[in-house]
Amino acid sequence: MAQYDFDMFTIGAGSGGVASSRRAGSYGAKVAICEDSRVGGTCVIRGCVPKKLLVYGAQFADAFAEAAGFGWTVAPPVHDWATLIAAKNREIDRLEGVYRDLLKNSGVRLVEGRGRLIDPHTVEVEGKRYTAANILVASGAHPVLPAVRGIEHAITSNEALDLASLPRRIVIVGGGYIAVEFAGIFNGLGAEVCLVIRGEELLGGFDDDIRVCLAQEMRQRGIEIRSRSQITGIDKRDHGFELATAQGETFSADLVMYATGRRPNTRGIGLEEAGVRLDAERAVVVDDRSRSSVPHIYAIGDVTNRLNLTPVAIAEGRALAETLFNDNPIQIDHRDIATAVFSQPPIGTVGLTEREARRRHGAVDIYRTRFRPMKHTLSGREERTMMKLVVDRQSDRVLGCHMLGADAPEIIQGLAIALKCGATKRQFDQTIGIHPTAAEEFVTMRDKVPEPKAAAAE
């Protein structure tokens, strides 16, 4: 190995790159990591963490509104956006410091600047070349904006987290994770929010009941959702922006945000020149051990566009370090990974959607409940929780658990373990619930939803 400066050189100090480098360092490998932005990557600096802090901030609006039903008199609450953003920034600064310390304490050398592959064993950063036996590409992804006239006026989630003030009327284009999460944040903090989606429903790929129920709850909270609507142009006006749609409508907003997907960061870092194969979305093509088409070049996390979630990137990164430096080959199982959407109300989900389960397994049984949570019997809020189990009829295995409602992300994490263990509906039924909770509904659902055909015949 002495022929190289390092055993591993990682491009990108986000969650995946840092986790992999630290694990490699812990086994005595000589590791360097380069980063051209802040250490911590999307999740810590401009994604999951700051977003969740703003979600917490927005949720106080609910608490104030609901308190009266429990006897509280609360003066009309006033929110100061600048205070929230400053507090959020302090926490992000602290976390970045923690990440830097973690790298240092694991003996990983941080090289600040943009890394570019020169050949399969050499990375150049700020004009200096470093050689390594293995190279790990963990460069993440970035928001993409469609080619729409006036798109330069739109912001992405990157800027949304650092606005100088909270605009009064906000249009968000897109109906994925990021769009619905920010719609909830801005709505909770008092802005008028309009979500513009080109399809019929939000959250493509999620269970249809979740998609429909979330839209109902968001509308109930005053968020306007314009479906089957395509923006064709954005014009700057004296006060804000005017948007035109292909359907011939115009409407105005003080801020236009696009959350129309993300693309892997694979440009300008020498990947293709080094022979690394990219797919049609420009993601690095890897095998189940995160190996690219070039020996000794690996890739993990969003740059591979497998399951674009922080814990997945971390798991892929650690598995790689185990494989390379601890003689412990690990493959990540990308099935049944739980995920959450921090919308208002939030979503937790694990396993197959009803649609996917029917496609793969044929006969499935569906159990579904929708109810007003106990808290809202006094709070007066009209919100309803939805929970659903998708069960394989033949084996009785639970294939999917879906929830929309308070604490759904916290509840679904536990159920993800049950699914990993291959739990059956019978075992769910044998589990005694915790009363009074919403979560107990997952072990007390007894009535199957009628088959779609039978239901249609009724």
For residue 157, how many other CB atoms are within 10 A of its CB? 23
Q: Which is nearer to ligand NDP, 149 or 372 (CB)?
A: 149
Site for ligand NDP contains 146 (CB under 6 A): yes
Give φ, ψ of 107 to 5 degrees. 75, 15
Residue count (the chain): 458
| Interface of this chain with ligand NDP, residues 231 to 250, rule: CB under 6 A | none
The answer to whether residue 177 forms part of the interface with ligand NDP (CB under 6 A) is yes
Asked if residue 24 binds ligand NDP (CB under 6 A), the reply is no
237 burial (CB, 10 Å; 0-12 / 13-18 / 19+) is exposed
CA–CA separation, 372 vs 378, rounded Å? Answer: 11
Per rule CB under 6 A, is residue 305 in the interface with ligand NDP?
no
Catalytic-role residue among 121, 239, 376, 435: 435
Does 167 participate in binding ligand NDP (rule CB under 6 A)? Answer: no
Q: Which residue among 140, 176, 348, 373 contacts ligand NDP (CB under 6 A)?
A: 176
* Shortest distance, position 315 Cβ to ligand NDP, whole Å: 14
Q: What is the nearest approach in angstroms of ligand NDP to the Cβ of residue 455? A: 26
| Crossing angle (nearest 10°) for helices 208-220 and 177-188 | 20
Which of the stretches 110-118, 235-243, 334-342, 358-366 binds ligand NDP when contact is defined by CB under 6 A?
334-342
- Applying CB under 6 A, which of residues 117, 283, 340, 352 lies at the interface with ligand NDP? 340
Smaller CB separation from ligand NDP, 346 or 400: 346
Q: Which stretch binds ligand NDP (CB under 6 A): 81-89, 258-266, 315-323, 396-404?
A: 258-266
Q: Considering the rule CB under 6 A, would residue 260 count as an interface residue with ligand NDP?
A: yes
300 binds ligand NDP (CB under 6 A): no
The helix-helix angle for 15-26 and 310-325 (nearest 10°) equals: 30
The rounded distance, in Å, linking the Cα atoms of 413 and 426 is 20
Beta strands in 141-296, from DSSP E residues, in sequence order: 141-143, 169-173, 192-196, 224-226, 231-236, 241-245, 250-253, 255-258, 262-264
Q: Is 153 a catalytic residue?
A: no
Q: From the list 69, 150, 233, 261, which residue makes contact with ligand NDP (rule: CB under 6 A)?
A: 261
For residues 57 and 52, what is the distance between their CA atoms, to the nearest angstrom? 9
Residues that bind ligand NDP (rule: CB under 6 A) add up to a total of 23
List binders of ligand NDP among 190-209 (CB under 6 A).
197-199, 204
One DSSP character per residue, 293-321 reads SSTTEEE-GGGG-SS--HHHHHHHHHHHH
Tokens of 248: 């011939």
**Nearest by Cα to 14 from 337, 303, 262:** 303
Q: Does 57 bind ligand NDP (CB under 6 A)?
A: no
Q: Which stretch binds ligand NDP (CB under 6 A): 160-168, 263-271, 339-347, 433-441?
A: 339-347
Short-list 334, 341, 258, CA closest to 301: 334
Query: Is position 358 an interface residue for ligand NDP (rule: CB under 6 A)?
Result: no
* DSSP β-ladder status, 31-35 and 122-125: unpaired
Of 88-96, 323-331, 340-348, 364-372, which segment contacts ligand NDP by CB under 6 A?
340-348
Residues 6+ apart with CB under 8 A from 92: 40, 44, 45, 49, 50
Closest contact distance (angstroms) between CB of 353 and ligand NDP is 14
Q: Which of the residues are catalytic?
A: 435
Residues that bind ligand NDP (CB under 6 A): 146, 173-179, 181, 197-199, 204, 259-262, 308-309, 339-342
